[in-house]
Amino acid sequence: MPDVHLEPHRHDIEQLRARLASSPDGLTDTEARVRLAHEGPNLLAEAPPPPLVLRFGRHLVQRFALLLWGGALLAMFGEHFSPGEGMALIAAALVTVVFFNAAFSFWQEMRVERAMAAFRGMLARRARVLRGGAEVEIDVADVVVGDVLVLREGDRVAADARLFEANALKVDNSPLTGESEPQLRMTRATTGARLDARNLVFSGTLVTTGTGAAYVYAIGNDTEIGRVAGVTRDTARVETPMRRELRHFISVISRIAVGLGALFFVTGWVIGNPFWTNLVFAVGIIVANVPEGLLPTVTLALAIAGRKMAARNALLKSLESAETLGSTTVICTDKTGTLTRNEMRVTDVLLGAEARPTSDDPAAAEQARLVMALCNNATLQGEGAAAVATGDPTETALLYHIEGRASGAVQDLRTAHRRVYERPFDSGTKEMATVHETPSGLVALLKGAPEVVVEQCTQMVDGEGAIAMGPEDAERFRQRSEEYARNGRRVLALACKSVGPDADLEEESTGGGYTLLGLVAMQDPPRAEVAVAVEQCRAAGIRVVVISGDHPLTVEAIARQVGIVRGEAATVYTGAEIQTWSKAALRHAVDAEEVLFARTSPLDKLRIVAALQERGHIVAVTGDGVNDAPALKRADVGVAMGKTGTEVAREAADMVLMDDNFATIVAAVEEGRVIFGNIRRFIGYVLTSNVPEILPYVAFVLLGIPLPLPVLLILAIDLGTDVAPAIGLATERAETDVMSQPPRPRSERLLSGKLLLSAYLLWGMFESAAGFAAYFWVLIRGGWVPGAELASSAPLYGQAIAAFFAAIVVCQVANILVWRTTRESVFKKGVLQNRTVVIGVAVELLLLVVIVATGIGHSIFGTVTPSLTAWLVPVPFALMMLIGAEIRKAIRRAAADAEAA
């Protein structure tokens, strides 16, 4: 078997071939079969998941589920030993809620697992290899170490391989490395890191131009993409703030419910109530404290938020990410396509000795057009404004510039000037040269980095012709080039010279003697809306950190143009720098207010995200390539690009930007803040009704009065009348200052002490008072006296419990208006402005009528329609709730104004 523990880019090709036990003709079929049996298929492996039954079962035994299971079990015992109390229906309702929540959680888990499947999808399905000297096409899974890959334009590379033939071969490594341009490949041995080696091609990358042949040295999990997949697989997903807050909420509510249930069970036993009666009422207390409809309502609320974000081009894959975005404190963004348009365009053409934007020399302008069109391997289809260029982004920008000035110009120039020689662009020489036939003879055209091209020029165009170029002239061009580079431009120098008919074309193309025509500046311009979005982030207390694979000067220039950097001296670190740092040093570096990272690797990005999280930040990360997948998965919110992103990045992320626009992230943050506020509001709304559900049991046990609210009516509130208005709260518009507030700190709870006090000790007490007032109004007017027995089948008792139930619902109508805003007056916002809330209240009132005023409601819940006056009793209490809430909000607004002043 071949030695796979090697550095393939460092070895001489003959030495490497020997270590791989291969040959220029490839392997024989027999050798390939033996290696395939020994090494396994060329696929990304993953650990087998647990059986689906066990995975679904985990969701049935979470804390909230266990609480509901316990309540259902007690209800079934109660039904067995004290039938006719409705305990069986209670048990069925609780079990239904458990299975509903488990099914949703399981569905979410299944979606996450598609990320690893996407890595396998990055591999080509078919590959061309040499077997015994003959070119054959095989399934990618059958490629083995030692195979000879045959590469052509448009091929997806099937495995990691070392090139031994390369003809103008360029490979797009951007999904793996983040490099913004296809890179020229070569065959000679080199040093340095594997990903920087120009003699290697990597699994999952794309051949953009040229042809080549290469020896396979790594397959499956041993490839670079396999290594990234392994890091992604081993990267633990961070628990979302919403999940953490729901876990805390469930913990608090569970302790309250079980504690009160046990307390009243013991209290009933002490005062002499029968055991099964105490059990029934303990179940009642637990059911009254547990908002059974909360998790389904949260789920629906998050789904609504997801639809609203989708309307703003942000597609949520994890519903909980909607709220997490709202608590984001740092957005780590890449540059190309997110902050910029991902459309390289020529901005300036500087011709002549003075390198000015205009030139009096039409001949020089025509020569510059020749270089841009002919010393160029991009292709153009169509003419004029409809033309579409494909190829290297820098070269396509040049073609668009020429075609925009004359329809059909590029093709006409190429037809009239046949290419006879090419020296492809190489990152080592930073230049490209071609030789063409013209009516006046052969001409060599040169384009490349200004510092390289200027060194090869002895003349420059000026006015009517060419003049000698001295050192001061070269320095002037260099300074102008650096000035554009500092402003985020990419700069090329253009030059040409005549070539003799018998000259050595290779030698002529590399020698001096060129005439400098001028400079071309181009830019991938920032998106117009990004600057506004960055300013919104600043006002909202959110830091923006750029993590890019581009050059530090380019990253800084774009960051300044969009307002991410304002200071005179930006803090820019490169991947090479941070790779030498300890965790503590990196944590210190990310504390800088305006910090940028350039030339980063996938692991660099992952470390930066982890360092920010260790400093207590909620981090959103953007990415589009395979290399971004680990950081996207580690982030609190991973944001993938929908247009340019790879499938791997989209599957690893929590959200996909359908327009690849940074401004869309900010819009999603606003929606996330709104949904957190709305979830907190409907939790307050739902918990308010817990108090009038609990106090009837307290009164029954301690005062000995007939039970004012049976368990079935509690479920009618929690799973019926409360649900529709609560869903309406999930659609509430943002208050006007939502994006001028800082992100909420990690220590701020969804279920805060203030919220509990408001729900339980303020508004809950109003509703309880209304319920008892209506209850005793009916009983006393019906002739009942304290201490008298009252059968549960008596019509008077049915009217009394119906009145108590109706009072809660009437007060909950006022309560929905109380919780719709935190500071803003609900009357200023508009009582009827939220149509979903209006519909929810209508549904709530309809259910009330069905339960207390129809035969179906009477038979199920034991209610009897109360008198008209009983319906009016809770109205003053509801009005007092509204007036009290408006006073509290006015005080809050005054305090905020005073603090701002």
**Residues annotated as part of the active site:** 334
DSSP H or E segment with residue 276? helix 275-289
The DSSP-derived string for 613-663 is: HHTT--EEEEE-SGGGHHHHHHSSEEEEESSS--HHHHHH-SEEETT--HH
Give the single-character DSSP code of 705. Answer: P
Best CA proximity match to 329, nearest among 134, 541, 132, 116 = 541
Residues 6+ apart with CB under 8 A from 470: none
**Do residues 880 and 763 make contact, with C-beta atoms less than 8 angstroms apart?**
no
Please tell me whether residue 441 adopts helix, strand or coil conformation. Answer: strand
Residue type, 548: S
Q: What is the 3-state secondary structure (H, E, C) of 323-361?
A: HHHHCCCEEEECCCCCCECCCCEEEEEEECCCCECCCCC
Helix orientation angle between 795-819 and 835-853, rounded to the nearest 10 degrees: 170
d(CA 895, CA 899): 6
Structure tokens at 304: 């609504």
DSSP code for 27: B
CA distances from 826 to 344, 829, 879, 887 (A): 50, 5, 14, 11
Q: Are 370 and 389 in contact (CB under 8 A)?
A: no
What does the DSSP 8-state code read for residue 758? I
List phi, psi (to 5°) of 180.
-80, -10
Spatial separation of the C-alpha atoms in residues 655 and 668, rounded to whole Å: 10
Interatomic CA distance for residues 644 and 60, integer angstroms: 39
> Angle, nearest 10°, between helix axes 764-781 and 875-900?
170
What does the block give as tokens for 636? 């609190």
Which amino acid is it at 563?
Answer: G
Tokens read off for 439:
């009516």
Core vs surface per residue 561-586: b (16+ CB within 10 A) or e: bbbbbeeeebebbbbeebeeeeeeeb
Say if strands 655-657 and 543-547 run parallel, antiparallel, or are unpaired: unpaired
Residue 170: enclosing H or E segment and its boundaries? strand 160-172
Q: How far apart are CA 861 and CA 719, in angstroms?
A: 14
- The CA distances from residue 847 to 92, 216, 869, in Å, are 20, 70, 20
Residues 6+ apart with CB under 8 A from 191: 9, 10
Distance CA 287, CA 20 (A): 70
Q: What is the Cα–Cα distance from 209 to 191, expressed in whole angstroms?
A: 24
- Going by C-alpha positions, the residue among 223, 218, 216 that lies closest to residue 146 is 216
Amino acid identity, position 322: A
